[in-house]
Amino acid sequence: MPPPPIPGRLRLALVLVLVTGFVDALAFARTGTFVANMTGNTVLLGIGIGDWSAAGAVPPLVAIAAFLAGSVLAAAVRRARPRPVAARPVLLAAEAALLAVTALIVLVAGTGTPVRADRYSVIVLGSVAMALQTDVVRRVGGVAVSTTFDTGMIASLGAAIAHRSRAVAAVVGPVIAVYVAGAALGGLAARTDPRLLALAAPAVLAVLAALLLRRR
């Protein structure tokens, strides 16, 4: 018997977490700061404060502030377009545009150590983009998911294992695995030449936005 088809919403979530892992790994390799994993940035901020180090505290603080601003913007889009089918293409198109600008900045700056302006441009644009993505998919088949952070997903998987809930595990398990795969690809890209590969993420998101627009 062939395996059951993957639901469309889950397919969308898997593509998005692949992009998140890829972008977050590239951004961290480039700037030492996460653009999606705000839990990690909160820890980095605390370490920087504890060390009395502005150089250690300011970048994660900027990322957190940018992610918060992106979340406000995403909520505004949702309010203006209450139907998810109308909001998703807008959010994905905006995210793709922000990541495309980020990739161009990396292309122009080259592979050396980023200067201050380059570093903070990547952090701000990447964090806003990831915040916009967070609002694209929040549930798959009644199961809460996140496409930009994994802590809650790992907790959900643990609860699903404890309660023997195959339905929940079948959603959050693949999401976590693909997140890791995306980060692995980002890590490999960072070790080679991330400049052209950085354009892959906005290209994928632009295609997704176009497909969702066609289905409206």
Q: What is the pLDDT along the chain (216 residues), one digit of tens a residue?
A: 444 555 678 888 999 999 999 999 989 988 999 999 999 999 999 999 999 999 999 999 999 999 999 999 999 999 998 787 788 889 999 999 999 898 888 878 765 656 667 889 999 999 999 999 999 998 888 888 999 988 888 999 999 999 989 989 999 999 999 999 999 988 888 887 656 566 777 777 777 776 765 665
Q: Which of 206, 211, 6, 216 is nearest to 95 (CA)?
A: 206
Instruction: Give the list of residues 6+ apart from residue 206 with CB closer than 8 angstroms, or none.
Output: 92, 93, 96, 100
Give the count of beta carbons closer than 10 Å to the beta carbon of residue 56.
18
Instruction: Give the list of residues 6+ apart from residue 197 with CB closer than 8 angstroms, or none.
Output: 26, 189
What pLDDT, on a 0 to 100 scale, did the predictor assign at position 2?
46
pTM: 0.89
The C-alpha angle with vertex 33 and arms to 41 and 68, in degrees rounded to 5, equals 55
Angstrom distances, CA of residue 28 to CA of 1, 126, 155, 163? 43, 11, 24, 36
Give the DSSP letter of residue 135: T
- Give residue 38's Cα distance to chain centre: 10
Helix 200-215 to helix 8-31 angle (10° resolution) is 160
- The single residue listed with the structure tokens 């088949």 is 141
Dist CA 27 CA 33 (whole Å): 7
What pLDDT, on a 0 to 100 scale, did the predictor assign at position 69?
97
